[in-house]
Amino acid sequence: MRPMSETVIHGAMVRVFNLGVLLLGRSGIGKTGCVIDLLSLGHCLIADDAVKITTGQDGGLHASPCNDLRPYLHLRGVGVVDVRQIFGTHLLCDGHRVDLVIRLCDEGAECEDELLGDRLSYTLQGQDCPCLNIPASPQKNLAGIIEVAVKNEQVKRSGMHALKDFINAHEKLLNHQ
């Protein structure tokens, strides 16, 4: 039997289309604002600011809130909001497995390695998790981008890979010229 281990990390955890998405990024990059947008779209909050990551006995990673402050979010410029009062308790979840890590990063060098959206990995408690680096800026609809990223992850898990299909179609096109 595998021993359980536990770590608390700075980030946010949401359930989007039944996949657990861990949002990471520097303070002020927009994680909580993105969580608010995802809640507005009907997705579920697991934790904001402090996320407890546990390696379960099955070896999988599980995220949960680490304290009783979970229903409260601090949104810069607005203050502290109570998710229960604004969105309802049905959008609060006790926990979920970590299926995808999304690193919100500043435009530039930190995100350049993902020009075609190829899958990276992020190591949590010695395990590699699928990871995407998404450039964050006020002009972007991060919640919409995250929804598409989650749907794309679901498609990949079903065995289809848009990037491979794109490369094959591109090579076929080049070979016919």
Q: Residue 138: its pLDDT value, please?
A: 78
pTM (2 decimals)?
Answer: 0.88
d(CA 40, CA 125): 31
62 alpha carbon, distance to own chain's centre: 13
Do residues 65 and 52 touch, judged by C-beta distance below 8 A? yes
- Here the CATH number for the domain that contains residue 81 is 3.40.50.300
Residues annotated as part of the active site: 10, 31, 49, 119
Q: Residue 1: its pLDDT value, please?
A: 47
Residue found under tokens 């909050």: 45
Closest CA to 104 of 35, 15, 167: 35
d(CA 21, CA 127): 15
**Which pLDDT tens digit goes with each residue over 142-169?**
999 999 999 999 998 898 877 788 888 8
The residue segments making up the domain with residue 106 are 5-175
SS3 for the chain is CCCCEEEEEEEEEEEECCEEEEEECCCCCCHHHHHHHHHHCCCEEEEEEEEEEEECCCCCEEEEECCCCCCEEEECCCEEEEHHHHCCHHHECCCEECCEEEEEECCCHHHHHHCCCCCEEEEECCEEEEEEEEECCCCCCHHHHHHHHHHHHHHHHCCCCHHHHHHHHHHHHHHCC
Q: 10 Å Cβ neighbour count for 124?
A: 19
d(CA 74, CA 130): 28
Q: Residue 131: its pLDDT value, please?
A: 92
Q: Split the chain (177 residues) into runs of 10 and give each run's mean pLDDT.
A: 76 97 94 95 95 87 86 89 94 94 83 61 90 88 95 91 80 79
Q: Residue 39: its pLDDT value, please?
A: 97
46 alpha carbon, distance to own chain's centre: 11
Total number of domains in the chain: 1
